[in-house]
Amino acid sequence: MSVPQYRKVAALALVAGLGLSLTACSTKGDDDGGTDAAGKVTITVDCQPVAAQKELLQNWNADVTEFQKQNPDIVIKSISVGQQCNNPPDFTARLAGGTTTDVFYGYMTDLQQVLDSGQALDITPYVSKDTIATWDSVDPALKEVFTDGGKLYGVPVKNYSMGLVYNKVLFQKAGLDVNNPPKTWPEVREAAKKITAADSSVAGYAEYSAGNTGGWHFTSLLYSQGGRVLSEDGKKAAFNTPEGKQVLQNLKDMRYGDNSMGSRQLLQWGDLLTNAAAGKVGMFIGAPDTTQAIVSQFKGKFEDWAVAPLPGQTDLAKGTLGGGEGYFFKKDLTPEQVKAGLKWVAYQKLTPGKGQLDYVRAKPQNYPVGLPQPLLFANGTEAQKQEFDLRKANANVPVENFALFEAKQLPIVGEPRDAQAIYAVLDSAMSGVLTDPNANVDALLKTAEEKVNQLLAAGS
Amino acid sequence: MSTRTLVSSTQLKKGRAVYWTLLALVVSVFTLVFIGPLYWMVTGALKTAQEVAQTPPTLFPQDPRLSNYVDAWMQLDLAKLLFNTFYYAAGAVVFQLVFDTAAAYALSKLRPALGNVILGAMLATLMIPAMVLIVPQYQTVINLPVLNISLLDSPFAIWLPMVANAFNIFLLKRFFDSIPEELMQAAFIDGASPLRTLWSIILPMSRPILGVVAIFAVTAVWKDFLWPLLVMPHPDTRTVSVGIYSFAAGTPQNIVIAASVIAALPTVIIFLIFQRNIMSGLTTGSLKG
Amino acid sequence: MAVITAPAPVKAEAGVSSKTNRKLRDNLTGHAFLIGAVVCFGVFMWFPMIRGIVMSFQRTRRGVTSWVGWDNYLRIVEDPSFWVAWKNTFYFTGLALVVGFAVPFFVAILLNEFRHAKGYLRVLVYLPVMLPPASALYLFKYYAYDPSEAGLFNAVLKFLHLPTSEWMQSPTMTMPAMVLASTWMNMGGAVLIYLAALQGIPGDLYEAAELDGAGLWKRIWHVTIPQTRLILALLAMMQIVATMQLFIEPLILANGAGTQDSATSVAYLIYQHGFFQNDLNGAAALGVIMLLVLAAFSAVYLRLSTRDDS
């Protein structure tokens, strides 16, 4: 290449580069203010379904259109943040960076983090029957979760508790009774053995052990035994007990005694659900809505799945892990924006027959209706009744798939404080018992206990 | 080109059989080691999930199907991810070439006051691994000092920090140092401005090193992971590596692998086409540098 | 490549006044040319450096930042994963140095001797460098390191009647497996640099050594290595700094911590603290500790390598 030609290319590249960067500049920073000259209030909302969730996305967009028609002075801008609405590193990044949407999604356990970031607005003065028509019916326990120091920071939109999720097709193949799923861990073990015996490529029972999800499920399994992760005052680890040992022993027996958990371990959230959707998992523990995820994201069939109450050691579980989601409001919103946001959340999440509770619309879609969730409204309230009747009338999943789960309401226990840090420690106990045939349950728990105690002592 | 190496030509002629055996062995081992996994990857993504889980694995796909590739392309929006990555890489090349060349030129030829102090402060950062600065850098990007703006999801969050690359400035400066001072003198006496001297004398002579810097910039963007993971949280702004990672947790293995193949194709193809230039550029460049 | 075609005649009679003039002008324009890079260094390197140290002595809670002395450091050091992470990181660095340093060097020596297929081999070695790291690592994770016998490595091992391994699920294999993947995908760059260095060795040195009766190994030991020592030392240093930042390998191959914390690295711990446990200040403190460790290491290294010179 001769010199002049080379120069021309360089100049061209420079111009092209600058041009691109200029356009990149101009696409940014037009969403300030909130209220424009025409008096319209604009709010951004996250957790829009991703494109792969075709029907959910259509529904969401239809809701936005309908809502804006009803409220001509409000403009909703939806943002989709990925497969998981709340992927911890992203979420933390957005919180720290102040780039959350105006109305932003979070887990119940995120309240402390949200408050620490200084990004959350106290919405107590705004929330009432006037902004959210069904507010008085919302379960007070859920409101409590989003309250700190008497101030409300979030609106609950989903609530779940864990049960035993099982694949009916695999149950039948193994000669098990789909209407009589295991009630105790020894029964789970027996069933898992049979499922794997019927098809060696299937894990009879699958469990997490990585990415902090192992610790999360350990907690749930521990609750089922009647144990707790932390002492009452939250200052000491309380899982190095016969209950904790039983949890790990059960897993160890299934993994290496019966070889009924598959050879691939170190699974985290999506790994297990991907396998489950592919028909390679007989049972796992999860909330009823994991079956929705299996269908909408992982392309499984919802007819195949049923949910039973969480098993315990001698009878059904003594307690089960509960959790849920809500929407927070960014600190610098105008009162108009907050009101608009509340209206939207009320419309899309908390009105029976609308938005996520629009069962008539969801029924013909490839999306399960009739799951015993989201359990938002308190028992005996008007909204709860409405929602329940609608759900029953439009159920497209065999109601009996979830009847067992619904009939038996187990005591719900929340997550421990510093959950993520503790889960990271407990991952190691879970991976130990699932990848090492010679794992010593006592030693694993003792190490984890010491680590958690150190962590609690250092963290406060 | 190469004259005498470890083993002399006469020795080679004597041990001809050994040489050819060794060569054949090395060629086949290397092909197996470096192409084998790639072959496995490309064909694996053509198999069904059942076939992948088969023992022993099949060498050729029994029933090759492209659906995994199609699904990967659609589900991960790979077109967007690839475009983003190229866009960031191209911008990084431009920014590095402009600012780092200017800086190296100043430090090498113009030698302003305190130039050595500045160079020292720059070189000191060579010893600081990126991971050490990740948190404060991130804090800086989300709220730039003085300007109080956030660069999250903006390509500048990748381009500007890449300018602060002491290694490139060092490479460029050393190269410029080797250009005789007399040329500068001559240009100056002819009345050429420093910019003009840079443009018409220095740059044309520095093409190999500029090529090396450009290749480094592209590979750096291509290979970087944690930084784009943090500063590009929005799905529309992700790079290809981060995009695959973000979706892997909820996507069947075969589709992840298919996506990985597609993601690798553009650079591999560009590399194979220009490998002669890239190789000689890298070799001579790093030698001179 | 860069051959100076027409060296311009030197005009030696340039006057004194024009020289000082030029100095002044160069000074001004020099700073003008520097400003872009200096601003970027300032904003993205020098300032964060100071800020990281400042942050490590602060704690932000509820949007309020306060000074907390050594609290962050205490918390980090008392974190049960702290020592495990350092142990793992050193282990990886050491192993990667042995494998990822020696292998490319001998590959380069080998390639340099061939008179045929050299270009092909060079392209092969460099090919993995061109893959996005996530691509290469998923290949290893899903296909090569599959713990069942359907996995590529296990199938090969079984074919050869060797014992199979659970790879990333085995605490003892986790690190070697990560080093292997990392070396495969990164060694191309090192090989190229060594090749360049090898080509710079004057042939008569080998000639002379041969006349002295030095065999192949002796020639490598007495000619090749001393002649490339500088570049070897530089690359070793660079590789250590790079491997100390081990992050994407554990994140993808081991889903983070790996089995029983066998993959937890210091960099992963920084990430956990900063972005999972809502503890950016603790992460900053860990960053400062990492910096100190590396600084101490470089000081020792420099000392050793300069002593060699005298």
Same domain, C46 and C82: no
Mean pLDDT of C163-179: 87
- Of the residues B7, B110, B122, B125, the best mutation for testing chain C's interface (the one with the most C CB atoms within 10 Å of its CB) is B110
What global pTM score does this model have?
0.82
Residue B233 gets which letter from DSSP? -
Query: Domain for residue C13, yes or no?
Result: no
User: Would you tell me which residues 218-237 of chain B have a C-beta closer than 8 angstroms to some C-beta of chain A?
Assistant: 229-230, 233-235
Selecting from B142, B199, B253 the residue whose C-beta is nearest the C-beta of A98 gives B142
Classify domain A163-321+403-459 by CATH number: 3.40.190.10
Tell me which architecture the domain covering B75-288 has in CATH: Orthogonal Bundle (1.10)
Whether A264 sits inside 8 A of C75 (CB atoms) is no
* Pair C111, C246 in one domain: yes
Q: Measure the CA–CA gap between C214 and C172, rounded to whole angstroms.
A: 42
Given C41, C69, C97, which residue is the final one in a domain?
Answer: C69
Are C90 and C41 part of one and the same domain? Answer: no
User: Is C106 domain-assigned?
Assistant: yes
For residue B153, give the 3-state DSSP assignment: coil
pLDDT above 70: residue C216 = yes
Band (pLDDT 50/70/90 cuts) for residue B6 is: confident
- The Cβ of residue A12 has, within 10 Å, a number of other Cβ atoms equal to 10
Closest-CA distance, C166 to chain A, in angstroms, reads 9
Cα C193 from chain centroid (whole Å): 14
Cβ-defined contact of B249 to A271 (cutoff 8 Å)? yes
**Backbone phi, psi, residue B242, to 5°:** -65, -40
Class of domain A41-161+323-401: alpha beta
For residue A7, what pLDDT band results from cuts at 50, 70 and 90? Answer: very low
Q: Do residue B129 and residue C110 have CB atoms under 8 angstroms apart?
A: no
Give the pLDDT score at A1.
35
Asked whether residue C206 falls in the same domain as residue C233, the answer is: yes
Q: Which of the two residues, A343 and A48, has the higher pLDDT score? A: A343
Size of interface A-B (CB pairs under 8 A): 98
Are the C-beta atoms of residues C292 and B127 closer than 8 Å to each other?
A: no
Domain ranges for chain B: 9-70, 75-288
- Is the domain of C99 the same as that of C123? yes
Task: For chain C, list the contacting chains (3+ Cβ pairs, <8 Å).
Answer: A, B
- Decide if C159 is inside a domain: yes
Q: Which run of H or E residues covers position B97?
A: none
Output the pLDDT for position A70. 92
Rounded to two decimals, the ipTM of the complex is 0.85
Residues C245 and C291 occupy one common structural domain? yes
CB contact under 8 A, C80 and A455: yes
Distance from CA of A236 to the nearest CA of B (A): 30
Domains A41-161+323-401 and A163-321+403-459 share a fold: yes
Higher-scoring residue by pLDDT: B149, A144: A144
Total domains present in chain C: 2
Q: Which residues of chain A have a CB within 8 Å of the CB of B52?
A: none
pLDDT band at A328 (very low <50, low <70, confident <90, very high): very high
Final residue of a domain: which of C15, C44, C69?
A: C69
pLDDT computed for residue C10 by the predictor: 41
User: Which residue range forms the structural domain that includes residue C200?
Assistant: 73-309
CATH of the domain at C152: 1.10.3720.10
pLDDT, residue A35, reads 64
pLDDT tens, position by position, B213-242: 888 888 889 888 999 988 887 778 889 999
What is the rounded distance in angstroms from the CA atom of residue A23 to the CA atom of residue B136?
Answer: 28
Please check whether residues C191 and C58 belong to one and the same domain.
no
C260 interaction partners in chain A (CB closer than 8 Å): 428, 431-432, 435-436, 444
Establish if C11 belongs to a structural domain: no
| Residue C118 shares a structural domain with residue C156 | yes
Mean pLDDT of B174-189: 83
Contact check, Cβ <8 Å, A50/B155? no
Residue A459 has pLDDT above 70, yes or no: no
In 3-state terms, chain B is what percent helix, strand and coil (to 5)?
Answer: 75, 0, 25
Q: Is the pLDDT of residue A82 over 70?
A: no
Q: What is the pLDDT of residue C18?
A: 62
pLDDT at A225: 95
| C64 three-state secondary structure | strand
CB contact under 8 A, A431 and C78: no
Q: Using the beta-carbon criterion (under 8 Å), do C117 and B27 form an inter-chain contact?
A: yes
What is the pLDDT at residue C165?
84
| Run of H or E including C114 | none
